[in-house]
């Protein structure tokens, strides 16, 4: 993917830099000193680094006439009209446009967007290597093995991720992330449970293999939620630079790729944009040629399918053994939910009618991510039974 500007995300153009000013320097150190004493951070270096990064971001934003503190999370309404220019959007996520649409003021979109979602590159930073035992490396392998954000890493990226991770042990009740705070780390859960709260209300929870804390790092935005441990946890934390360098681009690309499609899938209409983004993280594309069997009646069901484009024909075996067409579905429709919902063999055979493009979710992701629409799926599945009863009468 190409980017409009290949610059350090927080760099200030040379001509805009101040001349050296001792008072300013001392003021900065005093402020940092005060914050360190007040917050007493566990990870001193990361805290200091975040402090300076934030100062740098603010300075840049002021040069553009935009206060970073006014950047909200990407959950506002999309309002393209506020942007004056219509420059190339290569490398800029739609999701991010949503984030930027919550900016107050009429900022120049391209400069702001490109910087927020512009990945940190290896040219800009020395890779972090936190020494680890083989046993720790193995535990990281297991913890990230079940997480979709780590699925498409190449060998080097995988090694970089494992090297950069820091083990964090947190006790029950510990606030790992505070809503409104500055983003420093992205977290993966090795063991334990955590609640995610927005304005004090629980919106979701995390268990082993879950991850959180990517939004503030992707969008230079304040933390969108509070994450609190509900049992003692072992977490692996990836600092902001490593996250942006290794994981951000793939994550943003996938969310952008499926954003439009998922927002048009009827059963997902009621979901929050962020819930659809989490589904996008977990989707795997699959393509079938004309006549290819996608699902075979009576097989064990492992996946749920959404049709991205094309048509699927559904057959059931009649008592005389012949295959009878019972249904046809197309773009935006779903299938394969019955076996997963009811823990039963596949109720029909599904065949591609022409080229069929699907995306699938595995059983675990189906249960975890489609929780909010489970009742709709269940209700719809009862319609099949009604149709089946009618057909048998």
Binding site for ligand 1OR (CB under 6 A): 73, 75, 177, 183, 196, 198, 203-204, 212-216, 223-225, 227, 272, 274-275, 295, 301, 314, 316, 326-327, 335-339, 346-348, 350, 384, 387-388, 391
Minimum separation from the CB atom of position 340 to ligand 1OR (A):
6
Minimum CB distance to ligand 1OR smaller for 51 or for 274: 274
**Residue 358, CB half-sphere, CA atoms under 13 Å: how many?**
28
Minimum CB distance to ligand 1OR smaller for 164 or for 338: 338
Minimum CB distance to ligand 1OR smaller for 89 or for 278: 278
Minimum separation from the CB atom of position 3 to ligand 1OR (A):
22
Extract the runs of DSSP E, i.e. beta strands, from 116-248: 166-170, 175-177, 185-191, 194-198, 201-206, 211-212, 226-229, 233-239
Minimum CB distance to ligand 1OR smaller for 110 or for 307: 307
Minimum separation from the CB atom of position 159 to ligand 1OR (A):
25
Q: What residues contact 53, with CB distance under 8 A and at least 6 apart?
A: 10, 240
Minimum separation from the CB atom of position 81 to ligand 1OR (A):
23
**351/326 Cα distance (integer angstroms):** 12
Per-position DSSP letters for 29-77, written without gaps between them:
HHHHHHHHHHH--SSHHHHHHHHHHHHHHHHHHHHTT--GGG---TTS-
Minimum CB distance to ligand 1OR smaller for 53 or for 347: 347
**393/381 Cα distance (integer angstroms):** 19
Minimum CB distance to ligand 1OR smaller for 117 or for 348: 348
Q: What residues contact 353, with CB distance under 8 A and at least 6 apart?
A: 290, 310, 311, 312, 313, 328
**105/182 Cα distance (integer angstroms):** 22
Minimum separation from the CB atom of position 180 to ligand 1OR (A):
10
**Chain centroid, CA 344 distance in Å:** 31
Minimum CB distance to ligand 1OR smaller for 107 or for 183: 183
**254/262 Cα distance (integer angstroms):** 12
Q: What residues contact 176, with CB distance under 8 A and at least 6 apart?
A: 168, 170, 187, 194, 213, 227, 228, 229, 233, 235
Minimum separation from the CB atom of position 324 to ligand 1OR (A):
8
Minimum separation from the CB atom of position 155 to ligand 1OR (A):
27
């Amino acid at each position: 993917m190409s980017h409009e500007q290949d610059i350090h995300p927080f760099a200030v153009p040379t001509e805009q830099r101040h001349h050296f000013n001792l008072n300013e320097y001392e003021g900065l150190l005093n402020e940092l000193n005060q914050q360190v004493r007040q917050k007493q951070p566990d990870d001193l270096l990361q805290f200091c680094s975040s402090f300076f990064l934030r100062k740098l971001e603010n300075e840049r934003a002021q040069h553009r006439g935009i206060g970073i503190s006014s950047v909200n999370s990407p959950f506002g309404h999309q309002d393209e009209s506020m942007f004056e220019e219509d420059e190339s959007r290569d490398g800029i996520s739609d999701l991010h446009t949503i984030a930027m649409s919550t900016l107050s003021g009429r900022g120049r979109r391209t400069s702001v967007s490109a910087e927020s979602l512009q990945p940190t590159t290896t040219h800009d930073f020395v890779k972090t290597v936190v020494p680890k035992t083989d046993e720790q490396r193995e535990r990281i392998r297991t913890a990230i093995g079940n997480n979709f954000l780590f699925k498409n890493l190449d060998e080097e990226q995988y090694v970089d991720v494992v090297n950069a991770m820091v083990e964090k042990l947190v006790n029950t009740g510990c606030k790992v992330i505070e809503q409104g705070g500055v983003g420093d780390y992205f977290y993966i859960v090795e063991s334990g449970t955590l609640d995610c709260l927005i304005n004090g209300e629980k919106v979701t929870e995390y268990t082993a293999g879950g991850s959180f804390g990517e939004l503030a790092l992707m969008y230079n935005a304040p933390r969108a939620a509070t994450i609190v441990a509900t049992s003692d946890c072992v977490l692996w934390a990836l600092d902001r630079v490593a996250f942006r360098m290794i994981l951000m681009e793939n994550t943003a690309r996938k969310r952008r790729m499926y954003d439009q499609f998922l927002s048009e899938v009827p059963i997902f209409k009621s979901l929050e944009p962020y819930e659809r983004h989490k589904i996008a993280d977990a989707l795997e594309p699959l393509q079938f040629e004309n006549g290819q069997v996608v699902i075979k009646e009576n097989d064990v069901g492992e996946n749920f399918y959404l049709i991205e484009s094309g048509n699927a024909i559904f057959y059931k075996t009649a008592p005389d053994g012949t295959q009878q067409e019972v249904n046809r579905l197309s773009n935006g429709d779903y299938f394969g939910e019955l076996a997963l919902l009811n823990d039963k063999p596949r109720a029909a055979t599904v065949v591609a009618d022409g080229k069929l493009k699907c995306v699938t979710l595995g059983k675990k992701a189906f249960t975890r991510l489609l929780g909010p629409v489970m009742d709709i799926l269940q209700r719809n599945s009862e319609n099949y039974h009604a149709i089946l009863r009618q057909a048998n009468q």
